Structure 1
Amino acid sequence: MTYVLLSLPFLVIAAATTLATARRSGFARRMAASGIAAVVLVVLTAVFDNVMIGVGLYSYPAEHLSGLRIGLAPIEDFAYPLAAAFLVPAVYTLTRRHQGRS
């Protein structure tokens, strides 16, 4: 379960950073956009990870995985695109200068 533990801090940081933007204007719109982006990234990850694993480009040691898979791709592979879909807009929101609108 090494990969689960490695992924956990990324998900926690993404969630905390996203929640830090909850009072900023446009939060609901950002969450909707991040949700759509997350779905797209998860689908792309599922397709391309399965292809790359299927043709033998890489593999994972079983002792470091949770055992849950989507096709050939371990569930742990989906943490990073999920975190990115929410973290990137949150960081952008927190670092940009406040303007009258968002």
Structure 2
Amino acid sequence: MTYLLMSVPFIVIAGVVFAIGCRHAAALGGIRPYLLSWAAAAVTLLVLTAVFDNAMMAAGLFDYGADKISGARLGLMPLEDFLYPLAGSLLLAGLWQLLGSHRKDALA
């Protein structure tokens, strides 16, 4: 099983939770802050992943088997490594929105 195939269920579940969070935020009139905060967190996580995965791989701390990745790389890291922080940011943003105290009366 490849890392890309293994990541698909996590991305799908995270995407569904994020989409439900979007609908919830839109119902409360706060879709823009929801999307902007998710985008800021996601970009930060993706940049940190690129920097530190490349640094750790350059130091020889770990590597991926060539048969388990797509072959596309950014520096030393396979592009599949970006799926984990992307899924995490989607899932956590959605859960934060859904489980937080974001009621209409709290926004007034």
With normalisation by structure 2, the TM-score equals 0.85
Q: Distance in 1 between matches of 2:8 and 2:96?
A: 22
SS in 2 for 1:56: coil
Which residue, out of 85, 89, 92, partners 1:85? 89
With normalisation by structure 1, the TM-score equals 0.90
Which residue, out of 27, 48, 52, partners 2:52? 48
* C-alpha RMSD of matched pairs (Å): 1.5
The aligned residue for residue 106 of structure 2 is 101
CA contact (8 A) 1:2 1:65 kept: yes
CA contact (8 A) 2:22 2:94 kept: no
Considering fraction of residues, name the structure with more helix: 2
Q: Does 1:74 align with 2:89?
A: no
CA contact (8 A) 1:21 1:27 kept: no
CA drift of 1:27 comes to 2.3
Alpha-carbon displacement from aligned partner over 1:37-87 (angstroms, at most 9, x marks no partner) = 111111100000001001100010000000111100111111111111121
The aligned residue for residue 9 of structure 1 is 9
CA contact (8 A) 1:31 1:86 kept: no
Runs of at least 5 residues in structure 1 that lack an aligned partner in the other structure: none
Report how many residues are paired: 102
Q: Distance in 1 between matches of 2:47 and 2:100?
A: 30
What one-letter code is carried by the residue in structure 2 that aligns with 1:92? W
CA drift of 1:98 comes to 5.3
% identical aligned pairs = 44
